[in-house]
Structure 1
Amino acid sequence: MSEDGPTPGDGTAVGFAAVADALADDVASGILRETYEDARSAHELANALGTSPPTVYRRLETLREYDLVVASTRPDPDGHHTDVYRANVDRVVVHLDVDGFTVEVERTETMADRFTNIIEDM
């Protein structure tokens, strides 16, 4: 892995620059903090972070691209459904060697876990 960019979808690692950019961004890092223990909707996140929903949605898109947050659907009592997001990061480890930096992300949920949850929710 290079320090230049992400390698999304490989399950464990993303590029150094991608993770550093996400963690350095106040809204993106705020989303990770706010969703670490409980899933929250984009509007709940916007209110908690004092920013606009479109800004939250843009950051969520980036975080989802790198599998740093996962989305699920929360049914509301009135029959509507709301997408909610939860951090999918347990630990981030930065490695330095002669080739540069690599970042290993330990996720709280794997693709297999997500598939199992979908089947169980049916």
Structure 2
Amino acid sequence: MSNQWDPGGIFEVLASDESRRILAAASVRPLSAKEFEQICDASLPTIYRRISVLVEYDMLSEEQVVDTESGHSKQYATDLQEINVRVEDGEFTVNLEIRKDTVDKFGELFRDLGEGHRGSVSSEFPDLPSESPTEE
């Protein structure tokens, strides 16, 4: 799966040392905000702001986990696989390659169907028709 984003926004997100450390650490295994706080040596509010932006840009995903000691908590994993920057005809284009598993794709499919977004269904699942079959 890939998304195109405003290059300025991507460059701004990746300019943050904390964002890059969060992405790198979460590519090894899912981590909690408290673990990122220790890894990044930054305040918890800063970590949550960075996490929020990374989730918004689809670079990080959150997962609810059950901890026997503390109850429910969230962990975050890196979804970003690759960033491609293209400079052509006087413009920058940024393309993010995002890792999504089959469960994520089906969840998006059903959400999009419920919202009436047929175009996104065909782009995510090219074998499915994007329009209703016509009767002859």
Per the shorter chain, which TM-score range? 0.7 to 0.9
- Give the AA of the match of 2:60: V
Give me the identity figure in percent: 25
The runs of 5 or more residues in structure 2 that have no matched partner are 108-136
| 1:26-105 mapped onto 2 (5 Å cutoff) | 26-78=17-69, 80-105=71-96
- Give the AA of the match of 2:51: L
- Give the AA of the match of 1:113: V
TM-score normalized with structure 1 length: 0.79
Following the alignment from structure 1 to structure 2, what is the Cα–Cα distance between the partners of residues 24 and 78?
Answer: 36
Cα pair distance change 1:79/1:46, threshold 3 Å: closer
Query: What SS does structure 2 have at the residue aligned with 1:39?
Result: coil
Following the alignment from structure 2 to structure 1, what is the Cα–Cα distance between the partners of residues 5 and 84?
Answer: 11
Following the alignment from structure 2 to structure 1, what is the Cα–Cα distance between the partners of residues 80 and 105?
Answer: 18
Q: What RMSD in Å do the two structures reach over aligned CA positions?
A: 2.0
| Equivalent residue, structure 1, for 2:110 | none
**Residue 114 of structure 1 is aligned with which of 95, 100, 104?**
104
Report the CA distance between 1:68 and its aligned residue.
Answer: 0.9
Following the alignment from structure 1 to structure 2, what is the Cα–Cα distance between the partners of residues 25 and 79?
Answer: 30
The runs of 5 or more residues in structure 1 that have no matched partner are 1-10, 118-122
TM-score normalized with structure 2 length: 0.71
What CA deviation, in whole Å up to 9, does each residue of 1:68-92 have, x standing for no partner?
Answer: 1000012102360110111110000
Following the alignment from structure 1 to structure 2, what is the Cα–Cα distance between the partners of residues 71 and 62?
Answer: 12
| Equivalent residue, structure 2, for 1:3 | none
